[in-house]
Amino acid sequence: MSGRNHGKILPLLSSSVSLINIYSVMKRLATTLLLSLLFLSVLTAAPVDEETARRAAVQWIQINGNGESSSPAVREAFPFSHNGTVTHYIVNMAPDGFVIVAGDDIAIPVLMYGSTGHYDGSELPPALRGMLEAFSADLSTAIADGLEQSDEVRALWSDLLDERSNLRSYFGGGSSIMSVSPLLTTTWNQTYPYNKYCPSTSTGGSGGHVYTGCVATAMAQVMKYHSAPTTGVGSNTYTHPTYGSQSANFGNTTYNYASMPNSVSGSTPTAQQNAVATLMYHCGVAVEMDYGPTGSASSIYYSYQVMPVYFRFKSTISYKTRSSYSSSAWLAMLTGELDNSRPVLYRGSAQNGTGGHAFVVDGYTGTDYFHINWGWGGYLDGYFYLNNLTPSSYNFNYYQKMVVGIEPVASTPPTLLSPANNTTNLCTSPTLQWNSVSGATSYRLQVASDASFTTVAVDNSSLTGTSTQVTGLNPATAYYWRMNSTSTAGTSAWSTVWSFTTMPAAVTANGPTSFCDGGSVILSTVPVSGAAYVWSRNSVAIPGATSNMITAVESGDYSVAITVNGCTTHSSPLTVTVNPVPTATILPPSNTEICEGGSTLLTASQSPGWSYQWLKDGNPLLGATGPVLTATESGSYALTVSANGCSETSASLAITVHPLNPTDLVWTGSIDTDWSTTGNWDSPCATPGPGDNITIPSGCTPPAAIPSVSLGNLTINNSAGVSLSGNVMVNGMLTLTQGTITLGNSDLIIASTGEII
């Protein structure tokens, strides 16, 4: 039907008074309407004045409200009359909520209530208005006929108006009551911009267009709930007598449910308005809507016919008529649909089949109260008693209809084929395969490192074939993969989840990977049966390196490629560093023989980053860690040079420190033949003095002459002989092994006794 103030409404209430004997109330935190307004004939009834209606409303909210207010109050009350008789009150509560109270105590006290929302004082949804109008007519007739109040109804009024009743659960129930919360989240309407693609009109309508129609609105909300189909099938064109050709190409349209919000208005982004309006108009064209400026009409019977044809819903969809079923069977069928999360298209009309309204039943509580989405922008959506919608002289239930089994044809998920589930030692770039799904236009692959797919490594939704190579996986890692398929019917559920584990491809070393020149390290990877190996250094294959291990003797980044069944896994590189051994050299010093109290500088060959340690006679010298050492003692000096963990020790260098006044001197003649020249003796620091023991050995040029001197011992073993140039006193032994002593005319060799030798 149309938008507010423009509904095609017929009386919705019908036939017998017997339903007045039915009373059932549920306690629920949502809008609830009691449309079976039940009368029992026993005692005389009386009108309910406004004050009593207000009291009843307050008591009802205290007992059955949602607990948002512990002290509800009445904001305002609206009486409704029929033929001069007040038949019911709509009582708005403060801070929120409303209650519809019967205007005569011949009827049950409360017809409907909601703990949120309120009546705006201007208009009701067409179907609800029709129900209340029919109830009013029936109640007016019952009063005129003198129908008496039943004991049961009298007890209900008495309990409700008893202030003590708020101490107990007035109508029972509780957590054990079966229920399904409303399935729809949309609160769509028939007005602009929902109708922006419907025919234009210069009169009536909304926003310059005719209304969408209640059938199209109900149908579109169910399709939005299922988010199906993604695209339709075929097209339909028909000619409207007023608005001409109406056409929709379902198969060429992608319905963008993600862009369809729960409600739209003129301020909603245009793309979202258009998405909803497209679906609305296509539903209207599919059922060949009789568009009009005051209301647009069709039947849910046409929805039942076209949803499998144009919108890919299952052919098991069926159209049911209330008169063909018992009350219990009808309600069981309705609750069964909702238990299986399938909203139901529903319609009621007067006994003659005219009027009525299409809406969506999408939840229930208890056994008789069903949540209805009127397609009226959410206004007065709530729970209604559907066991029998009307009492008295009309039979609205006689023409109740519904469409059940509304389920989209879902795409079939692919069957995973290869690699087999739980495969191990798979390469890091495997090819995954699955079977082809008939009608699928694309496939989506997900690969994750956890079975719940919270850490997704690959997510590819653009696959069109039945295999793909996955790259970028890590070695030695367990992965999980799954697929779904997308067709014109929508997207399938996920396939079963399979797993595989990639092969270990880490390179390990049996020792340090940084070592000195001349060393080596063995690199290896875990052996894999049937694998071929190729080792590389700096990305260049090493000839002959085709086992799972290699001995590295050079610096570089080493990696291995492992191939199994044509699929290759590359390890991460492992860096090997071969450090050069520093050269330890002591540069030739200026002197290796020094005099007592003197020194000589020892200098090492040098390079940045080297460290030094000097040694004397094989022992480190404390604090001698520089490239230069001042040697002041006799000994064998050496140097250890270190860099990058590598070291070398130089050849030793002998340093001799000579005393300044030695008692034993050996002639070397290294400088000249002058007896008194420093450096001609084996001690470069002295010349013979009184009491020294002198040796003139063979193999050298003897001194030119021995001057006057007092010696200890004198040994001559030189065949060239020596000459005296003065008197020589020998206090010890004079030994002449070879050679001669030549004396001058006045030269003497005097013994310590004073004797002339």
Residues 57 and 88 in one domain: yes
CA dihedral 725, 731, 733, 738 (to 10 degrees): -10
Residue 530 — pLDDT band, cuts 50, 70, 90?
confident
Structural domain includes residue 737: yes
Lowest mean pLDDT among 10-19, 306-315, 448-457, 646-655: 10-19
Query: Minimum mean pLDDT among 361-375, 515-529, 558-572, 592-606: which range?
Result: 361-375
Task: Please check whether residue 443 lies inside any domain of the structure.
Answer: yes
Tell me: the pLDDT tens digits for 560-616? 999 988 888 888 899 999 999 999 999 999 989 899 999 999 999 999 999 999 999
Kindly report, residue by residue over 461-473, the tens digit of the pLDDT: 999 999 999 999 9
pLDDT value of residue 146: 86
Report pLDDT digits (tens) over 699-714. Answer: 999 999 999 999 999 9
Q: Do 526 and 546 share a structural domain?
A: yes
Q: 353 — alpha (psi -120 to 50), left (phi > 0) or beta?
A: left
Is the pLDDT higher at 27 or at 260?
Answer: 260
pLDDT tens, 29-65?
222 333 344 443 345 569 999 999 999 999 988 876 6
**Do 30 and 160 belong to one domain?**
yes
- pLDDT of 258 > 80? The answer is yes
Which one of 517, 548, 579 terminates a domain?
579
Angstrom distance (rounded) from CA 206 to CA 331: 37
439 has pLDDT over 90: no
Band (pLDDT 50/70/90 cuts) for residue 625 is very high
**232: its two tokens:** 């339709």
Whether residue 470 sits in one domain with residue 491 = yes
The reply to whether 29 and 117 lie within a common domain is yes
CB 463 within 8 A of CB 440: no
Q: Please check whether residue 484 lies inside any domain of the structure.
A: yes
Beta strands in 161-307 (DSSP E): 179-180, 235-240, 244-249
**Tokens standing for residue 213:** 């129609």
Region of poorest pLDDT, from 74-88, 385-399, 577-591, 724-738: 385-399
Q: Which of 9-18, 82-91, 250-259, 495-504 has the lowest mean pLDDT?
A: 9-18
pLDDT value at residue 67: 52
Note whether residue 450 is domain-resident.
Answer: yes
**The predicted structure's pLDDT at residue 45:** 67
Lowest mean pLDDT among 43-47, 528-532, 533-537: 43-47
Helix (H) or strand (E) holding 421: none
Given a cut of 90, whether residue 163 has pLDDT beyond it is no
Beta strand pairing call for 382-385 and 32-33: parallel
- Distance (Å, whole) CA 710 – CA 377: 140
pLDDT at 5 over 70: no
**Contacts for 718 with CB less than 8 Å, ≥ 6 apart:** 696, 697, 698, 700, 702, 738, 739
Q: Residue 250 pLDDT > 90, yes or no? A: yes
Which tokens sit at 540?
A: 């260049």
Residue type at position 689? G
Type of residue at 124: L
Considering the domain architecture, whether residues 465 and 600 belong to the same structural domain is answered as: no
Residue 469 within a domain: yes
Residue 130 has pLDDT above 70, yes or no: no
Dihedral (C-alpha) 325, 330, 332, 337: value to the nearest 10 degrees? 120
Instruction: Please compute the mean of the pLDDT values over residues 280-295 and round it to a whole number.
Output: 98
Q: Is 618 strand, coil or helix?
A: coil
Is there a contact between 557 and 535 (Cβ–Cβ < 8 Å)?
Answer: no
Number of domains in the chain: 5
Residue with tokens 């069903």: 370
Residue 731 within a domain: yes
Confidence of residue 235 (pLDDT cuts 50, 70, 90): very high
Of 529, 556, 579, the residue at which a domain comes to its end is: 579
Residues 715 and 602 in one domain: no
- Residue 548 shares a structural domain with residue 612: no
* CATH number of the domain to which 617 belongs: 2.60.40.10
User: Measuring CA to CA, which residue among 699, 727, 698, 696 is closest to residue 713?
Assistant: 696
Domain that residue 632 falls in: 586-658
Q: Looking at the predicted structure, is the pLDDT value of residue 26 above 50? A: no
* Mean pLDDT over the full length of the chain: 86
121 and 33 together in one domain: yes
pLDDT of residue 47: 95
Across residues 254-268, what is the average pLDDT? Answer: 96
Q: Are 535 and 550 in contact (CB under 8 A)?
A: yes
Asked if residue 659 has pLDDT above 50, the reply is: yes
What pLDDT is attached to residue 40? 38
Residue 113 has pLDDT above 50, yes or no: yes
Measured distance CA(372)–CA(311) in Å, rounded: 23
Please say if the pLDDT value at position 175 is more than 60: no
pLDDT of 535 > 90? The answer is: yes
In the prediction, which pLDDT does 542 show?
Answer: 97
* pLDDT at residue 2 greater than cutoff 80: no
Task: Note the pLDDT of residue 204.
Answer: 95
In a domain, 284, yes or no: no
Q: Does residue 692 sit in the same domain as residue 562?
A: no
**Average pLDDT estimate for 121-134:** 78
Q: Are strands 567-570 and 586-587 parallel, antiparallel or unpaired?
A: unpaired
Same structural domain, 668 and 752? yes
The residue assigned the tokens 């069977």 is 329
Percent pLDDT > 70 in the chain is 87
Q: In whole angstroms, what is the distance from residue 732 CA to residue 712 CA?
A: 5
Model confidence at 366, in pLDDT bands (50, 70, 90)?
low
Is 465 found in the same domain as 548?
A: no
- Rounded Cα distance between 642 and 635, Å, is 23
Q: In the predicted model, is pLDDT for residue 16 greater than 60?
A: no
Indicate whether 192 belongs to any domain: no
Residue type, 311: F
* The pLDDT of residue 4: 34
pLDDT greater than 50 at residue 8: no
Is pLDDT of 195 > 60? Answer: yes
Average pLDDT over residues 81-108: 91
- The pTM for the full model equals 0.55
Task: Report pLDDT digits (tens) over 585-601.
Answer: 999 999 898 999 999 99
pLDDT at 661: 87
Out of 658, 682, 709, pick the residue that ends a domain. 658
